[in-house]
Amino acid sequence: MAVLALAVLFIAGLACSSAEEGKLTSIEEYPSLVQVENRAGLLWLQFCAGSVLTSYHILSTARCFSGPNYTNRNRRVRAGTSIRGSEGIIREVARAYLHPSFGLLGNDGDVSVVRLETPMTLGNTIAQAPILGEGIYLPYGLQLQLVGWGTTSEGGNRGDSNLYELDIYTVSNDECLETYLGLEDVVNNTITENMICTGLSSTKGRDLDTRDEGAPLFYTGVTVGIVSFGVPNGEDSVPLVSTAISSYTNWIVETATL
């Protein structure tokens, strides 16, 4: 069995810029993006997202592959399509590896490497994206790209069938923590150095659609984060929180050989 090597990048000169409009995109532009589907009776519905690590592995959050009702048989992966819940290829889950720190401190360690039962054929619509090297942390105000099928409107409760990308910006973790500590209805409000806070500007937040959990955050085509949590169907005043890839790169690379 051949497992493709992961590309790990160490980026120099991270630069801040500005723009804030979401736009329609395609899987050809972001071929590493995949849908994670959940079995609901006889139906399969998009539940989370993820990204291609190797032909046999995807990267997502631990939250998307855990919980009291989780089994490998009620999750599957759809890859190679721009349309939510349609077309592309389907792969069953063989095993989900959760980071050992997950569950010890709020949402810290929210990362999983998922092995598929059969490999994906890589090409124009299914491809690896490089991941950020270990120990590289992002400056505040850095423009990133969020890509997914979640709602494109603040407070919306319906996902979009088409694939969209949105420019978002890194926010100070201290300011992010202060915001979350002020939210009475958020239980796991711990913000750590292993997380990236983002919003529609360096001082704002971003509404969360839970179907975007597990989706990659990109900087110039490099995966730097994994969407973890936020305030669902809330307001764009609360930062969206993602797992920082660079805190777990070595574990990700090692686990993707299993």
Q: What is the DSSP string of the chain?
A: ---PPPPEE---S---------EE--TTTSTTEEEEEEEETTEEEEEEEEEESSSSEEEE-SGGG-STT--GGGEEEEES-SSTTSSSEEEEEEEEEEPTTTTTSTTTT--EEEEESSPPPPSSSS----EEPTT--PPTT-EEEEEESS-SSTT--S--SS-EEEEEEEE-HHHHHHHHHT-TT-S-----TTEEEEESSTT----B-GGGTTPEEEETTEEEEEEEE--BT--TTS-EEEEEGGGTHHHHHHHTT-
Asked whether residue 7 is assigned to any structural domain, the reply reads no
Asked whether residue 79 is assigned to any structural domain, the reply reads yes
- pLDDT confidence of 3, banded at 50, 70, 90? very low
Average pLDDT, the chain: 87
**Confidence at residue 17, expressed as pLDDT on a 0 to 100 scale:** 41
Return the residue matching tokens 């993006």: 33
**Confidence at residue 230, expressed as pLDDT on a 0 to 100 scale:** 87
For 37-88, the pLDDT digits (tens) are 999 889 999 999 999 999 999 999 999 999 998 999 999 999 999 999 999 9
Statement to judge: residues 134 and 242 lie in one domain: yes
Statement to judge: residues 114 and 151 lie in one domain: no
Statement to judge: residues 111 and 219 lie in one domain: no
Average pLDDT rounded to a whole number, residues 21-45:
92
- What distance in Å separates the CA atoms of residue 65 and residue 73, rounded to the nearest whole number? 11
Statement to judge: residues 47 and 116 lie in one domain: yes
For 203-229, the pLDDT digits (tens) are 444 445 677 899 999 999 999 999 999
Q: Is the pLDDT of residue 164 over 70?
A: yes
Asked whether residue 149 is assigned to any structural domain, the reply reads yes
Statement to judge: residues 40 and 60 lie in one domain: yes
Name the residue among 241, 251, 183, 244 with its Cα closest to residue 212.
241
Percent of the chain at pLDDT above 90?
A: 70
Average pLDDT rounded to a whole number, residues 11-38:
75
Q: What is the number of domains present in the chain? A: 2
- Considering only 30-44, 151-165, 171-185, 210-224, which range has the smallest mean pLDDT? 151-165
**Confidence at residue 161, expressed as pLDDT on a 0 to 100 scale:** 85
Q: Could you tell me the pTM of the whole model? A: 0.89
Asked whether residue 50 is assigned to any structural domain, the reply reads yes
**Confidence at residue 185, expressed as pLDDT on a 0 to 100 scale:** 73
Statement to judge: residues 102 and 54 lie in one domain: yes
- Considering only 18-27, 221-230, 243-252, which range has the smallest mean pLDDT? 18-27
Supply the range of the domain harboring residue 186. Answer: 14-26+130-246
Asked whether residue 2 is assigned to any structural domain, the reply reads no
CATH of the domain at 104: 2.40.10.10
Asked whether residue 3 is assigned to any structural domain, the reply reads no
Statement to judge: residues 134 and 22 lie in one domain: yes
Asked whether residue 66 is assigned to any structural domain, the reply reads yes
pLDDT: is 230 or 37 the higher one?
Answer: 37
Statement to judge: residues 40 and 95 lie in one domain: yes
Statement to judge: residues 20 and 107 lie in one domain: no
Statement to judge: residues 120 and 134 lie in one domain: no
Statement to judge: residues 51 and 18 lie in one domain: no
Statement to judge: residues 39 and 160 lie in one domain: no
Asked whether residue 8 is assigned to any structural domain, the reply reads no
